[in-house]
Amino acid sequence: MDTRRRVPLLFAFILTVILLTGSSYAIPPFSRQYGTSCTTCHVDFPKLNDFGKAFKDAGFKFPKGDEDFIKVPPIMLGAPAQKELWPHTVFPGTIPGLPPIGLRFNQFFQVTSGNANNYNLASQSTGPYVPRTDFEPGLFSIFMAGNFGSDIAFWVDDDLSVSGSNAGGGLGDAYLRFVNVGHYFKLPTDALTVKVGQFELDLPFTQARSINISPYDIYTEMNIGTSNQNVNNQFAMQDAAQGIEFSGGHQYGGYHYSLAVVNQNTSGGAAATPNNVSSPAGFFSDSNYKDIYGRFSYRFNLEKDPASRHEVQAAGASGPRDHTYLSLGTFFFKGRSVQRFSETSGDTTNLLTAREPFYRVGGDFSFNYRTFNLFGLYMYGHDNGLLLNEGATGFGTGPPAKFNGGFLEADYLALPWLMAIMRYDHVQSSGDFLNQNFLNPTGGNYYSPVGSTRDRFTPGVQFLIHANIKASFEYQLRPKQALTYDENGKAVNPFRTNTATGALEFVY
C-alpha cells in the first residue's frame, strides 16, 4: 500500500475511532423538565449512576411519585377520566410541557506519535505526510427523549453533522418503549417491557453512551475471514439494530434480562473476495431471517443494611450513593450474514447467496465500591465459513472464522468532577493478521496488528467543567504494527503509533 493511500487511511481510522463514540448523551430535556442537575442521573455524563439506571428502567421517569418532581407540567392529550370510557375513546396520554430537545457538540485535538511517518519512509517518500497534531470538529447532535404517559417512553437521536460536514451523520437510536406491560399479564412489576424501533443492543456496557473517547475494540470487531474462507461479516456488536426487544428486571439491583429479535445486519457488504458482491440496497435487511440477541445478568447489591440494599441508591453516612455491588452477566447473539458468490460458467453467471450462520457469546462482570468501578467483558465470535461445493451449485461447510477478546476497565471518580480511567482492550483474530500483514505482499494497513493478538492500554482522565461541559483526555498505547515481514512471517522492526486525544464537549 503506498503512502497516498495510507495517509487517508490514517485519518479515516482516527476519525472512525473518534466518531464511533459519537452517540454518547446526557439528557438536558430531563434537567429542564425536572429542574435538576445532570448529576442526579450521571456519574460523569453519560455514565449513569444507580438513580439514572432506575430512571431509565422506569421509562425516563422517577421510579416513584414522578408527578411530584415535574417542574414543567405535561400537556394532556385527554383528560385522565377518559380512561374510564376506553375503548370508546382514545386512551389519554401526555406530551412533555417543553419540547424535550437536547443538543450536543464535541470537538477533538489529537497528537499522533512520529512513528506514523514510518510509512512514508518505507515508500521512499519525503516530508511528513502525517501531521503530528490535528484539530477535529466532532458531532453536532440532536436528541429527544421523554415519556408520553401510560408508561410509554420514547427516544430519538440523530447526528446533524459529523466532522464539520452537514448531514454527515445519521439516525442513532429511535424507539418507543412500553414499560411494565407485564402487569397486563399479572407479571411482577417491571418483569416485562417492550421496545420497538432502532436501538443499541442491550450490551453489558454501552458503547453508544460510553464515557470513553475511543470505542471498545471488541465491540468494533467485524469478522473478516482469510482467503480460504468465505466470511465477510460486517456486523459489529456496537451496531444499531432494528427490531423488537423484550426486557425485564432492573439495572440497579437483582435480575435483568433482554431478548431482542432484529434485522439481519447486511450493511456494508464490501467484497472480501473477488466473488463476493455487496448486498442490494433498498432494505435494511434483504432477508426474512431475523437475528436474535439475548442477555441475562444479576446484580448483587452488597450493602449490609437490608433496607438500603433494596433501595435504588444506598443510604451512605454522608448522603445517597451508588451501591457496592457485584454484577455478573452473559450475552449471546445468533445471526446470519449475507455472503454471495457470483460464479461464471461459460456464458452463464450464477449468483449464489449464503446465509452464513454466526454467533457471538460472552460474559461480563462489574464491581462497584463507592466511586470505584471495575468492569470487564469477554466475547467469542464464530462464523461458520460456508464454501462453494464442487459443482458450484450450493454451499458446504468450510473452515470457520473465529475471534475472541474483550476489555477490562477501571473508573475512579476521585472527585465529583474528576474521573480517572484505565482500560485494557484485547482482540485475538488470526484473520485480521493474515489479511493485512503476512499474506499481504504490499504491506499492512495503518494500525493493523503485528500478530494475531493485539492489545491496547488506554489511560484517561476527564474533568467536568460544569455538569454539562466536559474535557476528556485519553492516551492510546496502540498495538504493535509493522511494515514488512521476513520470510518466516516475523515482523521486521515493529513499532507503536500511539495517540493522545483530547475532547471538549457540551450538552444543553
Cβ proximity to another protein, 373 vs 435, nearer residue: 373
Q: How far is the CB of 414 from another protein (least distance, A)?
A: 16
Cβ proximity to another protein, 97 vs 131, nearer residue: 97
Q: How far is the CB of 40 from another protein (least distance, A)?
A: 6
Q: How far is the CB of 321 from another protein (least distance, A)?
A: 8
Cβ proximity to another protein, 311 vs 474, nearer residue: 311
Helix (H) or strand (E) holding 246: strand 240-249
Taking phi over 0 as left and psi of -120 to 50 as alpha, with beta for the rest, 197 belongs to left
Cell of 18: 473518534
* Chain centre to alpha carbon of residue 123: 36
Backbone angles phi, psi at 398, to 5 degrees: -120, -175
For residue 436, what is the DSSP state?
A: I
Q: How far is the CB of 412 from another protein (least distance, A)?
A: 18
Helix (H) or strand (E) holding 306: helix 306-309
Q: How far is the CB of 47 from another protein (least distance, A)?
A: 15
Cβ proximity to another protein, 55 vs 143, nearer residue: 55
Backbone angles phi, psi at 72, to 5 degrees: -115, 105
Q: How far is the CB of 69 from another protein (least distance, A)?
A: 6
Cell 464535541 -> residue? 106
272 contact partners, CB below 8 Å, separation of at least 6: 224, 225, 230, 231, 232
Cβ proximity to another protein, 71 vs 334, nearer residue: 71
Residue 401 · residue 359 · CB < 8 Å = no
Cβ proximity to another protein, 65 vs 441, nearer residue: 65
Backbone angles phi, psi at 421, to 5 degrees: -130, 140
Helix (H) or strand (E) holding 368: strand 348-369
Binding footprint of another protein on the chain (CB under 8 A): 34-37, 39-40, 51, 62-65, 68-69, 71, 307, 311-313, 315-321, 467
Cβ proximity to another protein, 39 vs 265, nearer residue: 39
Beta strands in 250-304 (DSSP E): 254-263, 290-301
Cβ proximity to another protein, 315 vs 471, nearer residue: 315
Q: How far is the CB of 319 from another protein (least distance, A)?
A: 3
Cell 469478522 -> residue? 223
Q: How far is the CB of 325 from another protein (least distance, A)?
A: 16
Nearest in space to 136 (alpha carbons), one of 174, 164, 161, 100: 164
